[in-house]
Structure 1
Amino acid sequence: METAARSTSSSCNGDNIIAWFDHVAANAALVQTQTLRRILQLNFGAEYLRKWLANIGDIEDIDPNALESLYSSLVPLANHSDLEPYIQRIADGDSSPLLTQQPIDKLSLSSGTTDGRQKFVPFTRHSSQTTLQIFRLAAAYRSRVYPIKEGGRILEFIYSSKQFKTKGGLTVGTATTHYFASEEFKIKQQKTKSFTCSPDEVISSGDYKQSTYCHLLLGLFFSGDVEFITSTFAYSIVQALTSFEELWKELCVDIRTGKLSSRITIPRTREAVLDIISPNPTLAMKIEALCKELEDEDWFGLIPKLWPNAKHVYSIMTGSMQPYLKKLRHYGGGDQLPLVSADYGSTESWIGVNVDPSSPPERVTFAVIPTFSYFEFIPLYNTLSKEYGATSAAADDFIEGEPVPLSQVQIGQRYEIVLTTFTGLYRYRLGDVVEVAGFHRNTPKLNFICRRKLILTVNIDKNTEKDLQLVVERGCQILSKARAELVDFTSHANVARQPGHYVIYWEIKGDVAEPVLRECCREMDAAFVDHGYIVSRRTNSIGPLELCILERGTFRKILDHFIGNGAALSQFKTPRCTSNEVLLKILNHGTIKRFHSTAYCN
């Protein structure tokens, strides 16, 4: 009876939060006006806002119908560089209201993989509250499609990063690290305590390799109870399961004996794990037998075989995570285990929730949550066809329209997102390009297209991360025919010598003959559809594409470099293009073969 009561209560809570979201989505235009008014009320005295809004009087006296247009006419669009001087003053200890009137004692550290350097972003209580809220909302939608058994567990590959203090005494870490340390996360853990495989001492160990080992060990120890597997990014799950291929024998020893490997050296982590596990020879024998079978099958279906009651895999799978879907499906046994894309957000703000968890990650859309931030959208039109993206994903080949509020977006149109947040970002250009795929009630459902920032350019060529992904997929079609697998990739626009050219770095699994790799190189060079690139290659203004094959483990060294600089594995994204000298040194040192394209040769 008690279990049934808890299950009913959980279901009611899920229905309640979905009903709340349906209500705010149905009234999205009004809610957005109220959200903007609330942000301005809370932060009106901040120095940045006073600079632009000093002459408008009391916010309460402004006609609600005129508030949005007045705000957009007075406050300019901003990039991170416009707000950086204020954020630096906050980091240096200036406690006056610069961006918000709310206290800021934490700064989030972006991953730094988009533009090559990590950025500080204000983090407040509101950041944790919205994270908890979207967690509950997303869980409610997922439970309608994939009901979770009461008393089951979640295998979560989540990690805190190292934190440090700024000159002014503010705590700096990733947004996920701040959330894992927040009261909101503790509330979530308490209310779903029976679902969690790993205790806080594993999540916050500070050593991602030791945390991964313990996540795997505890996930196996509770293997029959695991209802689904999750991490912030798909990369983290792939990384953990790749590590499992090397660690499974050692993990089985720990399960058999109830002891813990000597590789776990952090006392509080060892103690916490040893308090949970106990000898289980029967389970160890079962896992050993399964792993011997899986080795012979190249680990196909690893997840459903080791965690037979897992209903789905849940993680961010869009954008730079898409290249990992093939490997994730391999571990999931193809169609045996659904992949569910997690929700849409950034270090700056959460944006939208996946209201249709049954959609495959390649077609997922996100319904904007109109209470989280005030959203504007810059229309983007392709300069040639007036329809953005008709010939290329190049995100600088467009004409910008005037920003429009959420209530005026149109289905099929592509936009760049602009945020005004409770944490002190005003008309902040996020750099994400999205397409409006439809509406949930009256709030738009967005399809993430790409980051607007160009990552490959030598002269008149313009290629984004999406362009590069499509090109690499063409090369991988040839690679897969040779029964090899792409582990990871990145790129570099080499302009050190003229003519400049693109370099694509591949780490691959499997033996591939050189003629096949030459064909991959040529195919990728010919696959770029950007007009500027094609013209430049034909006139030799851009040199032949170079394909560099890396020794195994090179991308693990790149991961270690980012972790050493304060990133968390939960937040790590392989940089798809880099000009960072340290990373280029790692890549070039790890290069074991080089090929140059013969495409465009007469």
Structure 2
Amino acid sequence: MSNLLFSLLTQIALRTKEGFVRQTGHLEATQTQFLLTLLKTYQNTVLGQHWKFEEIKTVEQFRERVPVLSYGFYHPYVDQIAQGQANILTSEPVVYLNLSSGTTGKHKLIPVTKRSRKNRQIINQVAQGFLAEAVQKRQISLGKMLLTSSLQLTGYTEAGIPCGPVSVGDLRLSNFLYKQIFVHPYEALKPSDDLARHYVCLLFALQYPNLGIFGANFPVLALRLADYLEKNALELIQDLEKGTIAEWLTLEPELRGILTKQLTPQPGRAAHLREILHSEGRLTPQLVWPSIGCLVTARGGTSDFYFQRFSDYFGNTPIFGGIYAASEGAFGVYHDLDNDGAILAINTGFYEFIPSDQWDVEQPKTLLPQDLKVGEQYRILVSNYNGLYRYDVGDVVEVVGFYHQTPMITFKYRYKGLLSSTTEKTTEYHVIQVMGQLQQEFSLPLENFCITLSEKEIPPHYLVNIELRSGHFLPNPQQFVTQFDYKLREIHTSYAVKRNNSQVPPPRLRILAPGSFAKLRQHLLDKGMPESQLKFPHISEDRQFLTGLNVEKEVHP
């Protein structure tokens, strides 16, 4: 039955993908049709009447009439929706409010309707179709999926609308059939305690030696799950053997009963895993599930830094990006394994792009997808069924090619995620490149890092805050920080100019105590950030961001 269901879902996904591929050959027509249908559908909403959508007949009329907007404009309208007012941004009822992670600013609430949810499901199916095609070419077999995302809502508005991370909404609103592809019961995603949720998902997955897909919203969460497996190996094996769930877990009693009833003792599988633990000294996903065909997690941005550690846990297992998306919508779909290029999701949104020479303009001149150039970077705007129009997502993307007529883009960094001692505007992408090179040059695996600015000096120094992985040390920290400075000059012209004329002082290295980023992680969770959205920024203008962490050594060049 499981194989039949998987085959059915694959066939649906392949058909949906083929329809999308045809659309990529008719870029302008597809985008125009999407926009005009969107405007007609929402013409009687508050914003639709304000901008007189019924009068707009062309793409150019839309761009002339509606300004480029950020979330600040939408905030009061979302407040009205939260209070229960209808027909504000969408003509359909709002069934959920996506809560953004707030990594680079305040949390945002984005309306979700059945129609916007259906569009997201469609682009997910397109991604599944591309994945099915890619693994077939490589003769990879896929089976059930391990995914430990939470089902916990953040809360409800005064009108009773549920709100929470987009991943929670996706799981709660997903089609029944797609819930069947998980290797664990759907209820295993319900524990409110993060460790308990990961533990029970792993426990059910360990029963199933032929796991096909290892999924995580972000690469750092995939590493976190691998760490849970390694640290709790003995307890997991014991529970697997007996068909029990560890009593020390913080697990809701009723949920514990429901999950325990679905477990059966697996002494044979437990014995096999115990042998692996004895011979290898640990359990890793690759050792436990050699059948894993691919990993599904976010690509682009900070991902490459974490991918450098994947081989230790996953070997050479290929990585698929799924969809490039955020709380505000889905913007791209990946078409192959181990590839950072996402095809613009032209069937789920209308897109415009702000070229770099317009980034400081209040109402910038925008380009349409057909006007983009390979190798150039742009800020992306979206109009979609979440009730957003010419919305500045805040993401900087680079065009890496075209799929038929449609651009392929790679997420680089958040536009507001900039670090400046003076005016050099160092991005997260810059420092990830540098730190990746330094890890290889010094054969030094890092647990994590974050570049901040010193508090007292004017202009401030860059502080290169690093935590070394357990069992490693840095023999020549002076050379490390000197090389950081040299390599950042190589790839970042503005930094090089301002360093060469002493506008920016030399950087300093700070080696943080072991466990520092685990402590920071817990601090962010305690502040209310859901684990599924937890992304450590690799640069921060908040000079208090790492306050409270123990600095073992500070090195000045």
Matched residues, number: 552
Deviation at 1:571, TM superposition (A): 2.2
Deviation at 1:213, TM superposition (A): 1.0
Deviation at 1:239, TM superposition (A): 0.5
Deviation at 1:8, TM superposition (A): 6.1
Distance in 1 of aligned mates of 2:10 and 2:99: 36
8 Å CA contact 1:476–1:520 kept in 2: the answer is: no
Question: Equivalences for 1:11-160 in 2 at 5 Å?
Answer: 12-51=11-50, 53-54=51-52, 58-59=55-56, 62=57, 67-91=58-82, 93=83, 95-113=85-103, 115-147=104-136, 152-160=143-151
8 Å CA contact 1:157–1:237 kept in 2: the answer is: no
Deviation at 1:9, TM superposition (A): 4.4
Deviation at 1:11, TM superposition (A): 5.0
Question: Relative to 1, partners in 2 of residues 1:257 and 1:9: Cα closer, same or farther, differing over 3 Å?
Answer: closer
Q: What's the counterpart of residue 303 of structure 1?
A: 285
Partner SS state of residue 225, structure 1:
coil
Encode CA deviations 1:144-193: one digit per residue, 9 max, x unaligned: 232599994211232234421334543221111112211x343421xxx2
Q: What's the counterpart of residue 385 of structure 1?
A: none
Partner SS state of residue 413, structure 2:
strand
Encode CA deviations 1:452-474: one digit per residue, 9 max, x unaligned: 22421121221011011122223
Partner SS state of residue 85, structure 2:
coil
Q: After superposing the two structures, state which structure 1 stretch, 399-408 or 115-124, moved more.
A: 399-408
- The partner residue of 1:321 within 303, 308, 312 is 303
8 Å CA contact 2:101–2:534 kept in 1: the answer is: yes
- The partner residue of 2:530 within 568, 571, 574 is 568
Q: What's the counterpart of residue 229 of structure 1?
A: 214
Q: After superposing the two structures, state which structure 1 stretch, 440-449 or 72-81, moved more.
A: 440-449
Question: Relative to 1, partners in 2 of residues 1:505 and 1:430: Cα closer, same or farther, differing over 3 Å?
Answer: same
Distance in 1 of aligned mates of 2:81 and 2:522: 29
Contiguous gaps of at least 5 residues in structure 2: none
Q: What's the counterpart of residue 218 of structure 1?
A: 204
8 Å CA contact 1:474–1:523 kept in 2: the answer is: no
Q: What's the counterpart of residue 270 of structure 2?
A: 284
Deviation at 1:294, TM superposition (A): 3.0
Q: What's the counterpart of residue 170 of structure 2?
A: 179
Partner SS state of residue 232, structure 2:
helix
Q: What's the counterpart of residue 509 of structure 1?
A: 469
Question: Equivalences for 1:553-592 in 2 at 5 Å?
Answer: 553-580=515-542, 584=545, 587-592=546-551
8 Å CA contact 1:546–1:594 kept in 2: the answer is: no
Question: Equivalences for 1:390-539 in 2 at 5 Å?
Answer: 402-480=365-443, 484-513=444-473, 515-529=475-489, 530-539=492-501
Tell me which amino acid in the other structure corresponds to 2:183.
Answer: C
Deviation at 1:381, TM superposition (A): 5.0
Partner SS state of residue 309, structure 2:
helix
Question: Relative to 1, partners in 2 of residues 1:3 and 1:468: Cα closer, same or farther, differing over 3 Å?
Answer: closer
Question: Equivalences for 1:248-263 in 2 at 5 Å?
Answer: 248-263=233-248
Distance in 2 of aligned mates of 1:149 and 1:272: 34
Quick check: 1:543 aligned with 2:468?
A: no
Distance in 2 of aligned mates of 1:400 and 1:95: 30
Question: Relative to 1, partners in 2 of residues 1:151 and 1:524: Cα closer, same or farther, differing over 3 Å?
Answer: closer
Q: What's the counterpart of residue 340 of structure 1?
A: 320
Partner SS state of residue 428, structure 1:
strand
Encode CA deviations 1:423-479: one digit per residue, 9 max, x unaligned: 111101112222333322322222333322242112122101101112222332344
Distance in 2 of aligned mates of 1:109 and 1:96: 19
Encode CA deviations 1:540-587: one digit per residue, 9 max, x unaligned: 443332322223332223333333344332222112233557x63xx3
Identity %: 22
Distance in 2 of aligned mates of 1:133 and 1:244: 33
User: TM-score of the superposition, structure 1-length normalised?
Assistant: 0.84
Question: Relative to 1, partners in 2 of residues 1:510 and 1:355: Cα closer, same or farther, differing over 3 Å?
Answer: same
Encode CA deviations 1:91-125: one digit per residue, 9 max, x unaligned: 3x150433222222432111111x23322222222
- The partner residue of 1:197 within 183, 193, 196 is 183
Distance in 2 of aligned mates of 1:278 and 1:225: 17
Encode CA deviations 1:290-318: one digit per residue, 9 max, x unaligned: 1233338xx7xx33321021111111122
- The partner residue of 1:245 within 185, 208, 230 is 230
Partner SS state of residue 316, structure 1:
coil
Distance in 1 of aligned mates of 2:275 and 2:7: 39
8 Å CA contact 2:369–2:407 kept in 1: the answer is: yes
Partner SS state of residue 521, structure 1:
helix
Distance in 1 of aligned mates of 2:105 and 2:540: 7
Question: Relative to 1, partners in 2 of residues 1:83 and 1:576: Cα closer, same or farther, differing over 3 Å?
Answer: same
Distance in 2 of aligned mates of 1:447 and 1:199: 34
Distance in 2 of aligned mates of 1:7 and 1:342: 17
Distance in 2 of aligned mates of 1:255 and 1:241: 17
Distance in 2 of aligned mates of 1:316 and 1:533: 29
Partner SS state of residue 318, structure 1:
coil
Question: Relative to 1, partners in 2 of residues 1:94 and 1:221: Cα closer, same or farther, differing over 3 Å?
Answer: closer
Distance in 1 of aligned mates of 2:456 and 2:184: 48
Quick check: 1:376 aligned with 2:362?
A: no
Deviation at 1:351, TM superposition (A): 1.2
8 Å CA contact 1:474–1:524 kept in 2: the answer is: no
Q: What's the counterpart of residue 387 of structure 1?
A: none
Distance in 2 of aligned mates of 1:105 and 1:135: 19
Distance in 2 of aligned mates of 1:108 and 1:38: 23
Tell me which amino acid in the other structure corresponds to 2:236.
Answer: L
User: TM-score of the superposition, structure 2-length normalised?
Assistant: 0.91
Question: Relative to 1, partners in 2 of residues 1:164 and 1:248: Cα closer, same or farther, differing over 3 Å?
Answer: same
Tell me which amino acid in the other structure corresponds to 1:139.
Answer: Q
CA RMSD in angstroms comes to: 2.8
Deviation at 1:4, TM superposition (A): 8.4
Question: Relative to 1, partners in 2 of residues 1:196 and 1:288: Cα closer, same or farther, differing over 3 Å?
Answer: same
8 Å CA contact 1:227–1:309 kept in 2: the answer is: yes
Tell me which amino acid in the other structure corresponds to 1:467.
Answer: H
Partner SS state of residue 549, structure 1:
strand
Distance in 1 of aligned mates of 2:80 and 2:20: 37
Question: Relative to 1, partners in 2 of residues 1:221 and 1:99: Cα closer, same or farther, differing over 3 Å?
Answer: same
Contiguous gaps of at least 5 residues in structure 1: 383-394
Tell me which amino acid in the other structure corresponds to 1:561.
Answer: H
Deviation at 1:344, TM superposition (A): 0.9
Distance in 2 of aligned mates of 1:80 and 1:40: 19
8 Å CA contact 2:69–2:392 kept in 1: the answer is: yes
Encode CA deviations 1:301-359: one digit per residue, 9 max, x unaligned: x33321021111111122122211011122122x3x222222211110101111123xx
Tell me which amino acid in the other structure corresponds to 1:373.
Answer: G
Distance in 2 of aligned mates of 1:4 and 1:166: 41
Encode CA deviations 1:496-550: one digit per residue, 9 max, x unaligned: 4323122222121144556422322222123223344334444544333232222
Question: Relative to 1, partners in 2 of residues 1:406 and 1:572: Cα closer, same or farther, differing over 3 Å?
Answer: same
Distance in 2 of aligned mates of 1:178 and 1:5: 27
